[in-house]
C-alpha cells in the first residue's frame, strides 16, 4: 500500500530561527524513521530551503519542497527560482498552482502545465494544487472545474510521468483564516470525480483546506483521499506531529 502523504507548506511564515526550531524538533521526534504508513513532507519558504535541508540531512524520511518554481531552467526572470536551483538547494517536491498563486500571481492552467513538466524533467515530484471558488461550488460545478484544472496541467504526460505526480484538492472556500472547514459530505463527490480519473495513476490524491486535529481522521476516511496538505495546524510542530500520528493510525486501519 502507498503511504499517506501528510505535509505542510509554511507559506510566507517563519524566520530561519523558527524554521530551525520546527525542523529540529521534528527530526528529533522521528529519530530517522517516518511514522508507519506515512510519507511526511515540508515546504518552507525559499529562504529556509537549505537550512531545513541541512537539518533533515541525507536520506531523511521527510521530503522537502519549494512553494513554486519557474518552468525555464535559467535566464532573465527576476525574482524567480528555477527547478534546478530548487533541486540544488535540496528540494524534492515542487508545489505548483496553489490558489493563492493563481489568484495573486497570475498562475494559469498553462503555467501549471509548464511547471509540472519542468519538475518532472529534473526528477522532482510535482505537487499540483487544484480547487474551485465558492461561486463555482454554488453553481454545482466543482468537479467539472477541478477536473479541467488537473487535465490542463497534466495534459500529454505518459503513464510513467503521471505516476510521479501528487494532486492536492484544496477548495478555495476552505483555505486559510477566511475559509470554513469542508464537511466530509461536501468532499465525497469531488473526490469521486478525481478518483475515477486519477486513483492508481498518480502518486497521491491529497485533501487540503482548514485541516485540523478534529477533522483529519474523518478527511482521511473519504474514498480516494491518500493524504493531507496542511497549513496553519502544522505550523506548530506539535500539531504536525499529531497529524502524522493520526495518519499512521489511519494507515494501520
User: What burial class does residue 232 get, using C-beta atoms within 10 Å of its C-beta: 0-12 exposed, 13-18 middle, 19+ buried?
Assistant: middle
- What is the chain's Cα-based Rg? 17
With CB under 6 A as the contact rule, which of the stretches 25-33, 42-50, 74-82, 202-210 interacts with ligand PGA? 202-210
Should residue 210 be labelled a site residue for ligand PGA when binding is judged by CB under 6 A?
A: yes
Should residue 247 be labelled a site residue for ligand PGA when binding is judged by CB under 6 A?
A: no
Catalytic residue among 95, 100, 170, 224: 170
Other Cβ atoms within 10 Å of 32 Cβ, number: 9
Should residue 125 be labelled a site residue for ligand PGA when binding is judged by CB under 6 A?
A: no
Q: What is the largest CA-CA distance in the chain?
A: 51
Rounded Cα–Cα distance for residues 85 and 81 (Å): 6
Should residue 86 be labelled a site residue for ligand PGA when binding is judged by CB under 6 A?
A: no
Rounded Cα–Cα distance for residues 98 and 62 (Å): 21
Should residue 211 be labelled a site residue for ligand PGA when binding is judged by CB under 6 A?
A: yes
Should residue 229 be labelled a site residue for ligand PGA when binding is judged by CB under 6 A?
A: yes
Nearer to ligand PGA, 127 or 157 (CB): 127
How remote is the C-alpha of 12 from its chain's centroid? 15
- DSSP calls for 94-111: EEE--HHHHHHS---HHH
Nearer to ligand PGA, 116 or 211 (CB): 211
With CB under 6 A as the contact rule, which of the stretches 25-33, 81-89, 173-181, 187-195 interacts with ligand PGA? 173-181
Rule CB under 6 A: which of 88-117 touch ligand PGA? none
Residue 98 among the catalytic residues: yes
Residue 214 among the catalytic residues: no
Q: Are 83 and 73 in contact (CB under 8 A)?
A: yes
Rounded Cα–Cα distance for residues 33 and 48 (Å): 22
Task: Go through the chain and tell me how many residues it has.
Answer: 253
With CB under 6 A as the contact rule, which of the stretches 37-45, 118-126, 209-217, 245-253 interacts with ligand PGA? 209-217
Should residue 230 be labelled a site residue for ligand PGA when binding is judged by CB under 6 A?
A: yes
Instruction: Give catalytic residue positions.
Output: 98, 170
- Residues at the contact surface with ligand PGA, assessed by CB under 6 A: 9, 170, 175-176, 179, 208-211, 229-232
Amino acid at each position: 500500500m502507498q503511504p499517506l502523504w501528510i505535509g505542510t507548506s509554511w507559506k510566507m511564515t517563519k524566520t530561519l530561527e523558527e524554521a530551525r526550531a520546527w525542523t529540529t524538533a521534528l527530526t528529533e521526534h522521528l529519530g530517522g524513521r517516518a511514522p508507519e504508513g506515512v510519507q511526511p513532507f515540508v515546504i518552507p519558504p525559499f529562504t529556509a530551503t537549505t537550512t531545513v535541508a541541512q537539518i533533515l540531512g541525507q536520506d531523511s524520511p521527510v521530503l522537502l519542497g519549494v512553494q513554486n518554481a519557474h518552468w525555464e531552467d535559467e535566464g532573465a526572470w527576476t525574482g524567480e527560482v528555477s527547478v534546478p536551483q530548487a533541486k540544488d538547494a535540496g528540494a524534492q517536491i515542487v508545489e505548483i498552482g496553489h490558489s493563492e498563486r493563481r489568484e495573486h500571481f497570475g498562475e494559469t492552467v498553462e503555467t501549471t502545465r509548464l511547471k509540472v513538466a519542468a519538475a518532472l524533467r529534473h526528477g522532482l515530484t510535482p505537487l499540483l494544487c487544484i480547487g474551485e471558488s465558492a461561486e463555482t461550488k454554488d453553481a454545482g460545478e466543482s468537479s467539472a472545474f477541478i477536473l479541467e484544472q488537473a487535465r490542463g496541467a497534466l495534459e500529454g504526460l505518459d503513464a510513467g510521468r503521471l505516476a510521479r505526480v501528487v494532486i492536492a484538492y484544496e477548495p478555495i472556500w476552505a483555505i486559510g483564516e477566511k475559509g470554513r472547514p469542508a464537511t466530509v459530505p461536501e468532499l465525497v463527490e469531488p473526490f469521486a470525480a478525481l478518483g475515477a480519473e486519477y486513483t492508481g495513476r498518480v502518486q497521491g490524491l491529497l485533501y487540503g483546506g482548514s485541516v485540523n486535529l478534529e477533522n483529519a481522521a474523518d478527511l482521511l476516511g473519504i474514498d480516494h483521499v491518500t493524504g493531507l496538505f496542511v497549513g496553519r495546524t502544522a505550523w506548530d510542530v506539535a500539531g504536525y506531529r499529531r497529524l502524522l500520528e493520526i495518519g499512521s493510525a489511519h494507515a494501520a486501519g
